[in-house]
Homo-oligomer: A and B are copies of this chain.
Amino acid sequence: MTIVDSAEELGRRDRKKLETRAALEHAALTLVAERGLAAVTVEDIAEAVDVSSRTFFNYFPSKEDALIGSHQASAAELCARLDAVPARVPVLEALRLMARAEAEHVQEQRERWLLRLKVFEQNPSLLPRLVASGSETERAVTAAVARRAGVEPGTSGYPELATAAAMAAFRVAMLRWSAAGGRPSLPGLVDEAFGQLAAGLPNP
């Protein structure tokens, strides 16, 4: 949405850049879905888009990053969503709202994400990166949680745990959604996971 909207305000150059980036991403996803991660080289991907391999690395720092894509919510975006929730709302509830918003964002790009998740399932080495466990996003969200909870980071462990648990809930919801072919409502699955968390993970 953001991309499409702003694309019309961009010059030819930046439009082409976005196109190339999207094409590389798409080629990477489809090729890896077909052959598996190990059987696809960067050169394959670059050739499918008809650019040099060096150009690929101008867009993505690694082969994996092309699969993860830039669709990932940026740390700043997630934190902004979190900060937008009134302070009286409990932390876990605020995290749930953040995750819901992200889930709706994902559902808007159904096909793309279902393909991506299929690739992730078939290549488990990519799984940890889901939801940006790059520890950059996690760190930022953790800091935002610490602010909200009124706790100094690094002492109680609460912000770290709440953030990690929320990420886990989101990841589980995404994988269930994917496993069910994208049939159920993703925000619904997110709510369900957060509900179990809030209830203290009682026996089902």
Residues of A within 8 A of B (CB): 90-92, 124-125, 127-129, 133-136, 149, 151, 154, 156-158, 160-162, 164-165, 167-169, 171-173, 175-176, 179, 189, 192-193, 196-204
Contact = CB atoms under 8 A, between A and B. Distances in A.
| Shortest 7 CB-CB contacts between residues of A and residues of B | A128-B128, A164-B168, A124-B135, A200-B200, A158-B204, A160-B172, A198-B200
A165 to B, nearest CB: 5
Contacts of A92: 200-202
Given A133-B128, A149-B204, A200-B197, A169 B161 contact: yes
Most buried by B among A92, A156, A164, A189: A164
A171 B193 CA distance: 20
A167 B169 CA distance: 12
A134 B204 CA distance: 26
B201 A161 contact: yes
8 contacts: A90-B202, A128-B133, A151-B204, A157-B172, A161-B197, A164-B168, A197-B200, A200-B200
Given A92-B200, A128-B133, A200-B200, 18 more contacts: A90-B203, A124-B135, A125-B135, A127-B135, A128-B128, A128-B129, A128-B135, A154-B176, A156-B204, A157-B192, A157-B193, A158-B204, A160-B175, A161-B196, A161-B201, A164-B172, A165-B165, A165-B168
The dominant DSSP class at the A interface is: helix
B173 A157 contact: yes
Given A127-B135, A204-B149, A179 B154 contact: yes
B135 A157 contact: no
A97 to B, nearest CB: 15
B165 A203 contact: no
A173 B160 CA distance: 10
A180 B200 CA distance: 27
A45 B105 CA distance: 45
